[in-house]
Amino acid sequence: MEGLGFSKMILMLTIMVTLMGKMAKSELHYVGGTKVSWGSPNVNFTTWSIHEQFYVSDWLYFGYDRHRFSVFEVNKSGYETCNQTGFIKNITGGAGRDVFQLLEAKPYYFISGGGSCWQNVKVAVNAVHHIAPAPQPASPNAASDYSHINQTFMVLILVFIWGMLLN
């Protein structure tokens, strides 16, 4: 334990555990329940969605047959009418394994393109904050909102702290 004081080490470990706790809060949801559910005729995505709790910073995983399905983020009317024209984001990566991070507390809408949306390959998820926001103060304190600090950043901090510990 030379070079590094015990209390300093405890402090650093505490910081690490705290940061890891923040990271652990980002959950990965397999849309439809499994890694291959997107496009499955056996899944009712509405039923699946209402039984899941989605938090800001959580991830969605769309796994599917890339020759038949795709993933587009659309607005509410695009979702209701299965219209991908003017989509918000083309999430389709090409491999049939796409991820999407819910960055805001709002309803998100996803549909599969090329007509498959009509076979109910579509899902709406409502992302909420981990802790119900307190009544908004006059000037919102942006610093207390961790949701925009992404995991890459967290990992960099951890690597940095780890480097300091080893020095």
Q: Kindly list the residues in this chain that would bind ligand NAG in the complex (CB under 6 A).
A: 44, 46-47, 75-78, 81, 83, 85-86, 90, 92, 94, 101, 120, 150, 152-153
Q: Is residue 100 within a helix (H) or strand (E), and if so which, with residue range?
A: strand 97-101
Q: How far is the CB of 140 from ligand NAG (least distance, A)?
A: 21
For residue 141, the minimal CB distance to ligand NAG (Å) is 22
Q: Is-contact 9 24, C-beta < 8 A?
A: no
Q: Helix or strand or coil: residue 7?
A: helix
Closest CA to 126 of 54, 42, 31: 54
The least distance separating ligand NAG from the CB of residue 137, rounded to whole angstroms, comes to: 27
Q: Which is nearer to ligand NAG, 3 or 94 (CB)?
A: 94
Q: Which residue is nearest to ligand NAG (CB)?
A: 86
Q: Quick one: 118 or 162, whose CB is closer to ligand NAG?
A: 118
Estimate the share of the chain in helix, then strand, then coil, as percent rounded to the nearest 5.
30, 20, 50
H helices of 71-123, where?
76-81
Please identify, using beta-carbon distances, which residue of 18 and 85 lies nearer to ligand NAG.
85
Distance in Å, CB of 86 to ligand NAG, minimum: 3
Distance in Å, CB of 122 to ligand NAG, minimum: 10
In the bound state with ligand NAG, the residue whose beta carbon lies nearer, of 1 and 95, is 95
The Cα 125–Cα 110 span in angstroms is 8
Alpha helices in 53-150 (DSSP H): 76-81
Could you list the beta-strand ranges (E) of 119-159. Answer: 122-128
